[in-house]
Amino acid sequence: MTGQTWLWTPPRPTPTSVGIGSLLRAYRQAHGLTQQQLADLLGFDQSYVSKVESGRRAIHDISTLRHIARNLGLSPEDVGLAPGGLADRRREPPRGSTVEKVAGSQRAWRLTRDHLNHHRISLARAAARLYPETYRLGNGLLARPGWVWDTPVDINDIGLRWEEAAGEPALTGAEPEADATRPLVGDGGAQSRYQRYTRAMRDLDRPTLFENRLSFRLLDVAETAGAAPTLTFGHTTYFDAVDVCETVAHETAAAMMGGELAWPALPFRRRIGDPFDLAGRVALPSINTLTIRLDRGSASFVLHRRSAGSVATAGGVYHVLPAGVFQPSGITPFHHDADFDLWRNVMRELSEELLGNAEHDGSSSRPIDYDTDEPFRSFEQARRAGGLRVFCFGIGLDALTLFGEILTVLVVEADTFDSLFADMVRTNAEGSVVSTGPGRQAHEGIPFTQASLRRLVDTEPLAPSAAACLELAWRHRETLLPGLRSRSAV
């Protein structure tokens, strides 16, 4: 944690953080520890422990509470969680037994995953340095030449091509090079290894939102001189992507825990090879949208603090709002045809993350009527009237996970924004909306100034794709926000 207090995250409606400050203080006093010693034991900053103990900082992420319980030898109930796997650690199996080996393997896996979830930003930056400098897009993001365009492109001008006969990916995450990332599992006294990383996540560290859904697999990014970019897609599933992407991230975290990050310690990443070889593995892209409210003389933007206990990836970091996997809203061919559209995916995420509506999670049998169903009808009317504009900067890969990242920006005039998002929520299923203080309205957001951007990028746990969206929006501000430079402070 950075100790910065200029960003404020509203409390999430969960009982898990109740009493955690008092618990840490009591534990420290009972064991004769200073705040610094307790912070070292947990891998936190001393200032963060101080704020938690005093009640100035609440802990809402389930994974953080699990981390505290495991490192202090406490039960889940002690930190406000339901009883479960942590309590099993109190029943020590016979030394050298199969049960002990399985338990030890799973305990080590959990600790590595805790480290991964608490250090995603620094791990992404370290992973980016493994690749040539020409591939690096800011801190922690990779982009092939031609994948990020010279000027922002209207989202409706981007060509989408469907490849029905896309071949199966060569890599699935079950390769021998990935064995170390999957813990042992007991089976009637015998032991074997989990065959899928997602299965281990389901059993040992399941996020709240963790469902396997039909998704759109990125196959190619093509830019032709004088023509709009074209993206080619086929089908995949969310778990197919997580099995590869979280495996390579887990391997990276384990290597960093063991010393300096270097290629010899990364056999699965070496097996992947060229990260831009989209035929060799599943590349599932998220659409990450920086939402800017443009007022007379100023602009602001909203951020999202993603809950590590709720989401499978990018938990515990600041992210742009909205952001979500590119996937259909249902399971029928009609859903596929209607939802194979970047703007419609952004609209669904706006509905979920800013308005708090139920997720269009890919399991519905009822199609969305974008012409009549709200809030989609209003979103589309605002776009056609010019009060809302959507642009795409290009495509990147998160250096830690190699997940695809479609980088977009949504610019909304202030009156249009205030009308569309009059019922904007403070918290949603994936985390909380961030502002610059508890007395500010959620829609006021964070000032879109160079000072704010630098402070975020340089000092806060900002997702690499979010940092790229902010920096590209600032680079192209005269195109995206006409007249802003002369009207607002830089």
pLDDT of res. 16:
42
Handedness of CA 102, 106, 109, 115 (dihedral sign): negative
Q: What would the mean pLDDT of 351-375 be, rounded to a whole number?
A: 83
Quote the CA–CA distance of 215 and 337 in Å, as a whole number. 13
Classify domain 20-79 by CATH number.
1.10.260.40
pLDDT of res. 10:
66
pLDDT digit string, tens, across residues 392-451: 999 999 999 999 999 999 999 999 999 999 999 888 777 888 866 555 565 678 999 999
pLDDT of res. 14:
45
Is residue 270's pLDDT more than 50? yes
pLDDT digit string, tens, across residues 117-149: 889 999 999 999 999 999 999 889 999 999 999
Handedness of CA 439, 441, 442, 446 (dihedral sign): negative
Amino acid at the residue 246: E
Quote the CA–CA distance of 209 and 409 in Å, as a whole number. 25
Are 208 and 309 spatial neighbours (Cβ–Cβ below 8 Å)?
yes
Helix axes 46-54, 35-42, angle to 10 degrees: 110
The winner for highest mean pLDDT among 191-200, 322-331, 392-401, 439-448 is: 392-401
pLDDT digit string, tens, across residues 204-253: 888 777 889 999 999 999 977 667 899 999 999 999 999 999 999 999 99
pLDDT digit string, tens, across residues 348-358: 999 999 998 88
pLDDT band at 109 (very low <50, low <70, confident <90, very high): very high
Q: Is residue 482 reached through a cis peptide bond, with omega within 30 degrees of 0 on the bond before it? A: no
- Domain positions in the chain are 20-79, 132-170+212-237+273-480
Q: Which of 60, 486, 76 is nearest to 296 (CA)?
A: 486
Task: Provide long-range contacts, Cβ within 8 A and 24+ apart, for 73-81.
Answer: 74/23, 74/27, 78/23, 79/16, 79/20, 79/23, 80/15, 80/16, 80/17, 80/18, 80/19, 80/20, 81/16
- pTM score over 0.85: no
Which residues are registered as beta bridge partners of 130?
Answer: none
pLDDT of res. 487:
42
pLDDT digit string, tens, across residues 38-93: 888 887 878 788 878 877 777 866 778 888 888 887 777 677 776 554 444 444 55
Mean pLDDT computed over every residue of the chain: 85
Please tell me which residue, 485 or 210, carries the higher pLDDT value. 210
Residue with tokens 């039960």: 75
Is residue 308's pLDDT more than 80? no
Classify domain 132-170+212-237+273-480 by CATH number.
3.90.79.10
